[in-house]
Amino acid sequence: MKFFTNLTDFLLKIISVVVLLSIIIGLALVIRWKIDTLYMENIAGDEIEFTLLDEIEKTKLDIELYLNGDEPKSTPQIEIIKDKEEDLVSITIPEGASIDDIANELLNKKLMTSIPDFKALVDSMGLTDKFICGTYQIPKDNKIKNTILTITNSTIKNYEITISEGAAADAVGAKLEKIGAIQSAKAFEEQCKDLNCFYKFKPGTYTIETPSKVIKIIEMLTGENF
């Protein structure tokens, strides 16, 4: 019995030593990683991508080189993360700017190529009077739709609606208002009356993307072109 007790104590001591050594090695590796990262960032003069796994690979390589009698490499290959500021274009929308003023600003900064296309897209999204004054940093390769969303503080949202056979504008408008695709079912109903399409809705399931002008939603759901 005493033999097993001594054996257990011996094994526990070995495990304790192994755990302690593992902790020491782990801490040493983390410290080495931090030092290498700071050193390489100082050399590069920029942020670098150098993970703990990269440090482990570097350490393994250094050990192999040392065992082979070669000099360990002082620094590993690193990936420099380039500053993205040069890819941004600054635009300013003054208070009270018209859509033409904004279009000219975007055209002058080479963020779009066609004023008529820009104005047509803004109109179809129902954002003609939604521009917010201020200064914006826009990526050079930004799609014009995303630029419009940025300078109107809007976000794309998708809504799904199912229209049953024989549904009229009042029922469709109520559904659209309930899911948040439009603001007023009553205004939707009145617009359908003005367009003479109150009973022209086609049954089916539709995905509606907003922001969108209400008439564009009506065109989608009726198959008409107003």
The rounded mean pLDDT for the chain is: 83
105-137, pLDDT tens digit by residue? 999 999 999 999 999 999 999 999 999 999 999
Strand partners, 147: none
The CATH code that applies to domain 157-222 is: 3.30.1490.480
Token pair in block for residue 71: 């000099």
Minimal CA–CA distance to 165: which of 202, 192, 126, 220?
202
40 vs 122: which has the higher pLDDT: 122
Instruction: Decide which of 91 and 81 is more confident.
Output: 91
3-state class of 131 per DSSP? coil
Average pLDDT value for residue range 152-166: 95
For residues 138 and 115, give the distance between their C-alpha atoms in angstroms, rounded to a whole number.
18
- Say if residue 33's pLDDT is above 70: no
Same fold, 85-151 and 157-222: yes
How confident is the model over 52-67, as a mean pLDDT?
Answer: 70
CB atoms within 10 A of CB 122: 24
pTM above 0.75, yes or no: no
Q: Provide the angle, in degrees to the nearest 10, between the axes of the packed helices 214-222 and 185-194.
A: 60
Give 164-188 pLDDT, tens digit per residue: 999 999 999 999 999 999 999 999 9
pLDDT reported for residue 51:
72
The CATH architecture to which 85-151 belongs is 2-Layer Sandwich (3.30)
Q: Which residues contact 222 (CB under 8 A, 6 or more apart)?
A: 197, 200, 201, 202
Every domain of the chain and the residues it spans: 2-80, 85-151, 157-222
